[in-house]
A and B are shown apart, each in its own frame.
Chain A
């Protein structure tokens, strides 16, 4: 079967044709033979991975690649690891992992507010650093560092660091996964992502016991591997006054997450009224990988595979957003505000996402940019690059040739600026030309009378000095184009 082997370091891809059936050691051997010089140092081994982090391992050395879940056409990452390869990752069968979708390279970041996730990991990070004694740099900030670019991964066990600039997110992500033992990681990701959408919609998290505002949840450290239930509570800023514990707890919204297999069902309802149950169902296999990579790539712009994978992941994130927003966040917001007698959110806000999009689609590029400054939801909706592509086509060029990834909003912006520059410089030119010519070349105080003087410009252009039939200054431009103005022809005019 045919496999693609990509080096984590150089990003070069080799196409290998391996026999059927082929075992993991055989694959390593074939790869080692095919590696470009210089050959890997002795004592080292090739580390294979499907998701660039967890190593591909086989419980049975002679087991075929298919038993690991590999199929023809798959992309496998490799790196050269120095000797001791005691990665503590318990992830055996990469094929069964539902974490990172195979073959999908880096994707563009999105603006999901995931501060919770990042806050909760540093402690784990510190522990793991001490344990492994790894020599990579570890900065203080865990996200959004300006140095992040390209690929790289860190293994806490001392394997070769390909590029340590990327160390934080991947390392943390791996630790997170290790801590949560694979499955737990996906649940946590989804729970936190749903939480993020609720926060964006205007809710605040509350502690269910005290009823006070909570800045972060304390998600359980132990997540049961299969079915689990967890519930979170939310309220509105107006209902929760910081620092006071109200005796009579106001109405709030409760979200219950239930997992079954690879689906998470989220139920939302009012805590006291227990009415208006809302329900959405999320497929972990569909959304968790995208959210995972989004978070890991926070602050990075990488387009290794071109636009297709990044725009498809953006679409998936948007789908996730739509499902949670329209199915849970908005209805619950309306329910809660109605119940407690607060003013409802604006009519526009109450529309389902698709209808909001329909309305802003018919706006011009400039109006779109202005609308994006109104609120964070509109900012997200107007940041959709497909929308900007549409605007660009409408206003500038009907045909698009390039198939590269283009940031359409930036392209549109620069076109607008160019157009404005052209228009303003043309206006300036017109303003110069607009001054009547007779001031420049005039030798006679009354230009409208055909001069009695013979010679000079008046000979070359007999019509000069006579206003053109329709009196348009524009005509004069054409008249005068090839003539040197103010040419003194020997003082004929004295």
Chain B
């Protein structure tokens, strides 16, 4: 945990750290919220977070949302039900954005966001046939028709 003192009284200003996205935008985030990211937590511990932290893998658009997520989840007193609803709303985005969340959460090591986003992608796959999966994710099939036929036969039990 961070050794620097968090605000002990409401009048003290909250400790903020600055994050810099790949396209040069800067974002401020409360230290408490930043602690959800293991990467940022270790930087704070080692006192490397006094200057803007460069994040070359994350664009401004995604970083803004990640900051929003961490801030929301650092709030005290939020009830589980409304948080779940907020999360569901958070991941109702287009595919590229959702995958960008996954990559950002992976890079910043935010387990809650990573699990949320991965689960959301898995939910898209559930109950779908391979053809539907092709369409949803725009994945090219690399099988020849014969191979595909054989695979179907082998996995016929999954299609019954």
Contacts and interface: CB of A to CB of B under 8 A. Distances in A.
Interface of A: 200, 202, 345-352, 355, 358-360, 362-367, 369-379, 413, 416-417, 420
A367 B151 CA distance: 14
Nearest to A350: B99
A330 to B, nearest CB: 12
B148 interface: yes
Given A359-B121, A377-B142, 6 more contacts: A352-B106, A363-B126, A370-B130, A370-B158, A371-B133, A417-B157
A363 B122 contact: yes
A373 B157 contact: no
Contacts of A378: 139
Binding site secondary structure of chain B:
helix
Interface in B82-131: 95-96, 98-99, 102-103, 106, 114, 118-119, 121-122, 125-130
Most buried by A among B125, B143, B148: B125
Given A202-B142, A351-B99, A366-B158, A373 B122 contact: no
9 contacts: A202-B142, A348-B99, A362-B119, A363-B122, A370-B129, A371-B130, A373-B130, A374-B130, A377-B142
Nearest to A364: B126
Contacts of B134: 374
A373 B139 contact: no
Interface string B133-160: 1100111111100001001100101111
Given A351-B103, A376-B142, A377-B142, A370 B118 contact: no
A419 B102 CA distance: 36
Nearest to B147: A376
A347 B139 CA distance: 9
A363 B102 CA distance: 17
A372 B151 contact: yes
B142 A369 contact: no
B139 A375 contact: yes
A362 B137 contact: no
A373 B156 CA distance: 11
Interface centre among A200, A374, A420 (most CB of B within 10 A): A374
A365 B126 CA distance: 10
A224 to B, nearest CB: 36
A302 B88 CA distance: 48
B138 A358 contact: no
B9 to A, nearest CB: 42
B148 A373 contact: yes
A347 to B, nearest CB: 4
A410 B114 CA distance: 31
A347 B137 contact: yes
Contacts of B152: 373
A179 to B, nearest CB: 33
Given A348-B139, A375-B139, A370 B95 contact: no
B126 A367 contact: yes
Chain B, interface residues (CB within 8 Å), range: 35 or more
Nearest to B155: A369
Contacts of A364: 126
B142 A375 contact: yes
Nearest to A358: B118
B139 A346 contact: yes
Nearest to B102: A355
Interface string B50-69: 00000000000000000000
Contacts of B103: 351, 355
A84 to B, nearest CB: 47
B137 A373 contact: no
B155 A375 contact: no
| 7 smallest beta-carbon distances between A and B, as pairs | A369-B158, A347-B99, A373-B130, A346-B138, A362-B122, A376-B142, A348-B137
Contacts of A363: 122, 125-126
B157 A413 contact: yes
Contact of A362 (B118, B128, B148): B118
Contacts of A347: 95-96, 98-99, 137-138
B135 to A, nearest CB: 11
A350 B126 CA distance: 20
A416 B158 CA distance: 9
A359 B124 CA distance: 10
Given A347-B95, A351-B103, A373 B118 contact: no
B143 A376 contact: yes
A200 B142 CA distance: 8
A360 B127 CA distance: 13
B137 A367 contact: no
Contacts of A365: 158
B141 A374 contact: yes
Most buried by B among A358, A365, A417: A358
Given A347-B99, A348-B99, A420-B160, A372 B141 contact: no
A360 B125 CA distance: 9
A356 to B, nearest CB: 10
A360 B119 CA distance: 9
Contact of A359 (B118, B129, B139): B118
Contacts of B155: 369-370, 372-373
B118 A355 contact: yes
B127 to A, nearest CB: 7
